[in-house]
């Protein structure tokens, strides 16, 4: 079995009297896609923000590549990237200029080749010279994903990576992520409200509710535990109990 790349122990985040994340522990192994599920307000976004060192945990620890995030932040984050439907890029730059900006920020070399490859993989040729503020929601989703895989990270956090995409592009994007995972041993934390997508993409899933992990395992194991027909029914059951 592959070794853990990400190790989370007792992770907690409180905002005043409210506990957003309540003592969760999990790991992501090398080359694994770990699904993170839960209704709105379950603590998914807060967890990702702590993994990206955007907010400081109240308690607990995060280790990546065997290093503590609190003391090796720069070393760790240089090997990590993030894509979300809910982030924006500098609107006045073109798509290609945005990718150049990211490449320079990470100190990449051979930048034109890298940009050409990611633009081709995500079928972005027709809008690579377009100003970002004029992109459609689907094109913006592809740009944020391109930004994330351009740096060839070892760990990738993906928040709704196929939202707003046409079904054919979404399918190609999932295939691309699986290919990168296989070829580069990429470790991925994956969130989506598309339950079929979660079943298709995730090797294992952790289910958050009110900041706690209430279930973890393969999609089939979780469905069996809750006595439901599929993952969507489990999600709806937990959402009602929210």
Q: Please give the tally of structural domains in the chain.
A: 1
Q: Are 175 and 200 in contact (CB under 8 A)?
A: no
In a domain, 56, yes or no: yes
Domain containing 39 equals 1-79+153-162+186-242
CATH of the domain at 199: 3.40.50.300
Write phi, then psi, for 67 (nearest 5 degrees).
Answer: -110, 150
In a domain, 90, yes or no: no
In a domain, 98, yes or no: no
Angle of helix 219-226 relative to helix 231-240, nearest 10 degrees, comes to: 50
Tens-binned pLDDT, residue by residue, of the chain (242 aa) = 468 999 999 999 999 999 999 999 999 999 999 999 988 888 999 999 999 999 999 999 999 999 999 999 999 999 999 988 778 889 999 999 999 999 999 999 999 999 999 999 888 999 999 999 999 988 998 899 999 999 999 999 998 888 878 888 888 888 888 888 888 889 999 998 888 899 999 999 999 999 999 999 999 999 999 898 888 898 888 777 76
In a domain, 103, yes or no: no
In a domain, 123, yes or no: no
Gap between the Cα atoms of 205 and 201, Å rounded:
10
């Amino acid at each position: 079995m592959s070794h853990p790349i990400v190790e989370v122990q007792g992770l907690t985040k409180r905002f005043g009297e409210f506990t957003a994340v309540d003592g969760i522990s999990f790991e992501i192994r090398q080359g694994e896609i770990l699904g993170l599920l839960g209704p709105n307000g379950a603590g998914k976004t807060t967890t990702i923000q702590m993994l990206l060192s955007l907010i400081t945990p109240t308690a607990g620890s995060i280790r990546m590549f065997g290093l503590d995030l609190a003391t090796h932040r720069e070393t760790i984050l240089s090997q990590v990237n993030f894509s979300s439907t809910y982030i924006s890029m500098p609107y006045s730059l073109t798509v290609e200029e945005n990718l150049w900006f990211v490449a320079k920020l990470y100190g990449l070399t051979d930048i034109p080749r890298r940009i050409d490859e990611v633009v081709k993989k995500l079928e972005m040729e027709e809008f690579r010279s377009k100003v970002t503020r004029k992109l459609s929601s689907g094109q913006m989703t592809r740009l944020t994903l391109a930004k994330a895989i351009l740096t060839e990270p070892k760990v990738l956090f993906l928040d709704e990576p196929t939202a707003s995409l046409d079904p054919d592009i979404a399918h190609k994007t999932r295939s691309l992520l699986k290919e990168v995972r296989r070829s580069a041993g990429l470790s991925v934390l994956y969130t989506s409200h598309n339950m079929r997508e979660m079943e298709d993409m995730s090797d294992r899933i952790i289910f958050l509710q009110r900041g706690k992990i209430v279930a973890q395992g393969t999609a089939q194991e979780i469905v069996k535990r809750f006595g439901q027909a599929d993952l969507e029914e489990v999600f709806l059951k937990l959402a009602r109990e929210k």
